[in-house]
Amino acid sequence: MGKKKEDSRIGWKVSDIVTIGVLTATLEAAKIGLAFLPNVELVTLLLVVYTTVFGKKALAASFAFVGVECMVWGMGLWVINYLYIWPFLVLLALVVCKSGCRSVWGYSILCGAYGLGFGALCAIPYFFIGGPSMMLTWWIAGIPYDLIHGISNFILCLILYRPFRYAVEKCRIVVIKE
């Protein structure tokens, strides 16, 4: 009884923490694995899949991923970007998921739009560093890369969303059973 009460107060089970650890590890592996291809990444797709399967737990994984990235690459301005960019994606995916979206096209459009808007989101800190002109210059200079990012996100999600989701759901069932 006492243990049950304690569990509900903490709100996290051991399996949750293990799950978040595994999600974070796969995010980092995906990031490093495709680092040789500029502006082509699987982190967006994985976070969307994790959000549709695990809900809000993906938010914790997105923050943990930023922590691991800091340990790998050191601190920099990009840390501020990452601290809101990836959790923002999880929130967007949560909204799309809660709206009842079951279509791979819906999530592909989300991933594509997120890629196209990635530079604009990253440019926000430059508003506080050098004002609106610096923010705009920085954003506009990166538009060709945002286009590659958006298109590749869209195509990758269209092709990989279903197999990734199937694999993640299978793993989740195994964790629950054990």
Contacting positions for another protein (CB under 8 A): 38-39, 73-76, 103, 105-106, 109, 112-113, 116-117, 134, 136-138, 140-147, 150-151, 154
Tokens, residue 6:
């304690």
Residue with tokens 């809660």: 98
Specify whether the CB–CB gap between 66 and 82 falls below 8 A: yes
Tell me the closest approach of the beta carbon of residue 172 to another protein, in angstroms: 26
Tokens, residue 151:
């298109």
Tell me the closest approach of the beta carbon of residue 39 to another protein, in angstroms: 6
State which residue, 87 or 150, has the beta carbon closest to another protein: 150
State which residue, 21 or 67, has the beta carbon closest to another protein: 67
How big is the CA angle at 87 (ends 98 and 82), to the nearest 5 degrees? 155
Specify whether the CB–CB gap between 123 and 135 falls below 8 A: yes
Tell me the closest approach of the beta carbon of residue 23 to another protein, in angstroms: 23
Tell me the closest approach of the beta carbon of residue 86 to another protein, in angstroms: 15
Residues with Cβ within 8 Å of 135's Cβ and at least 6 positions away in sequence, in order, are 123, 124, 126, 127
State which residue, 87 or 112, has the beta carbon closest to another protein: 112
State which residue, 33 or 144, has the beta carbon closest to another protein: 144
Instruction: Tell me how far apart the alpha carbons of residues 133 and 65 are, in angstroms, rounded to a whole number.
Output: 31
Residue with tokens 């595994």: 22
State which residue, 19 or 81, has the beta carbon closest to another protein: 81
